[in-house]
């Protein structure tokens, strides 16, 4: 995947201010940064859930931002896992995995079920195929969501803070699945606050702040020996929250909340328009 000169604005609020980067086949790229820095917006622009204001996004030579591209066809090659699972509550686990295979890819019911069951085994919840989402824990729902995305056999997997809505004791199960996918060679772009995962699994870490990429490189450098003061400040507060003073923490939290509120409001106006 190649992103060049990517900008995104919601009304007068510019959330992305010129992003350039690539994700190579088989690479795991973790995007880190404070709330309101543009991480999730970047991820949503990659598969055009949000339409960029300017710039280009290309996957394996196909430009997604070309007005003439069949975006639905290209999206079949990109899997996405959201924070809030987004499973169909009225469908069983297995039906959640087969509906898109049958309607979008044209697979038969038997073929879709075979692939769905294989991916449920892959994420460790095969015994839940007849259950409904409300009968599952948050961690199980997220693993089902990952299995659903994998059942479409994507070239690229996007993860938008996949553990942020989970109880701490359930985070490890989801991260273990993602580690296995990385070991299998899956190309992945992961927005995350899990620094241990980024340190251990990522081939490259991208630190964003204020809508720009501040620093990127291998995790040993970006997390272990950051070159920019803003990166160092962010990591010191994430890795050792107690070290930040009350005044500093409060100021930063207020700034991030204001950015998030502004983005949500302008995004809502844009969608309603």
DSSP annotation string for the chain:
-EEEEEEEEETTEEEEEEEEEE--TT-EEEEE--TTSSHHHHHHHHTTSS--SEEEEEETTEETT-TTS-HHHHHTTEEEE-TT----TTS-HHHHHHHHHHHHS---HHHHHHHHHHHHHHHT-GGGTTS-GGGS-HHHHHHHHHHHHHTT--SEEEEESTTTTS-HHHHHHHHHHHHHHHHTT-EEEEE-S-HHHHHHH-SEEEEEETTEEEEEE-HHHHTTS--SHHHHHHHHHHH-GGGS-HHHHHHHHHHHHHHHHHHHHHHHHHHH-
Nearest Cα to Cα of residue 148 among 120, 187, 125: 120
Taking a C-beta distance cutoff of 8 angstroms, is the pair 96, 133 a contact? yes
Give the pTM.
Answer: 0.85
Tell me the domain boundaries of the chain.
2-77+154-265
**Phi, psi dihedral angles at 196 (to 5 degrees):** -65, -40
Pick the CATH number of 2-77+154-265 from 3.30.1360.40, 1.20.120.1200, 3.40.50.300, 3.60.20.10: 3.40.50.300
Taking a C-beta distance cutoff of 8 angstroms, is the pair 54, 215 a contact? no
How crowded is the C-beta side of 269, counted as CA atoms within 13 Å?
10
Amino acid 129: pLDDT: 96
**Which class for 273: exposed (0-12), middle (13-18), buried (19 or more C-beta within 10 A)?**
exposed
pLDDT in tens, the chain (273 residues): 999 999 999 999 999 999 999 999 999 999 999 988 999 999 999 999 999 999 999 999 899 999 999 988 888 899 999 988 889 999 999 999 999 999 999 999 999 999 999 999 999 999 999 999 999 999 999 999 999 999 999 999 999 999 988 888 889 999 999 999 999 999 999 999 999 999 999 999 999 999 999 999 999 999 999 999 999 999 998 887 766 554 444 444 444 444 444 444 444 444 334
Taking a C-beta distance cutoff of 8 angstroms, is the pair 197, 30 a contact? yes
Taking a C-beta distance cutoff of 8 angstroms, is the pair 38, 259 a contact? no
Nearest Cα to Cα of residue 55 among 45, 41, 40, 69: 45
Amino acid 244: pLDDT: 57
- Dist. CA 247–CA 250, nearest whole Å: 5
Q: How far apart are the first and last CA of the chain?
A: 30
Amino acid 115: pLDDT: 97
* Residues contacting residue 146 through CB under 8 Å, at least 6 positions apart: 81, 123, 162, 174, 177, 178, 181
Amino acid 267: pLDDT: 41
């Amino acid at each position: 995947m190649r992103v060049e000169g990517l900008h995104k604005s919601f009304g007068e609020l510019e959330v992305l201010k010129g992003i350039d980067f690539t994700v190579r086949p088989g690479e795991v790229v973790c995007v880190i940064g404070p709330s309101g820095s543009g991480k999730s917006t970047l991820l949503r622009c990659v598969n055009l859930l949000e339409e960029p204001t300017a710039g280009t996004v290309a996957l394996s030579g196909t430009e997604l931002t070309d007005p003439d591209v069949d975006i639905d066809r290209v999206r079949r090659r990109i899997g996405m896992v959201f924070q809030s699972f987004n499973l169909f509550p009225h469908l069983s686990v297995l039906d959640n995995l087969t509906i898109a295979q049958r309607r979008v890819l044209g697979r038969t019911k038997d073929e879709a079920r075979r692939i769905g069951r294989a991916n449920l085994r892959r994420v460790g919840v095969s015994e839940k195929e007849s259950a409904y989402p409300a009968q599952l824990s948050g961690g199980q729902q997220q693993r089902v969501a990952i299995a659903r995305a994998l059942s479409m056999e994507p070239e690229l997997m996007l993860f938008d803070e996949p553990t942020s809505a989970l109880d701490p004791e359930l985070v490890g199960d989801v991260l273990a699945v993602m580690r296995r996918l990385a070991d299998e060679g899956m190309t992945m772009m992961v927005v995350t606050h899990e620094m241990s995962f980024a340190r251990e699994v990522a081939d490259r870490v991208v630190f964003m702040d204020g809508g720009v990429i501040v620093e990127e490189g291998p995790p040993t450098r970006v997390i272990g020996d950051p070159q920019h003061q803003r990166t160092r400040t962010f990591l010191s507060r994430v890795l050792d929250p107690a070290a930040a003073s009350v005044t500093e923490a409060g100021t930063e939290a207020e700034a991030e909340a204001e950015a998030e509120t502004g983005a949500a409001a302008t995004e809502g106006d844009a969608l309603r328009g």
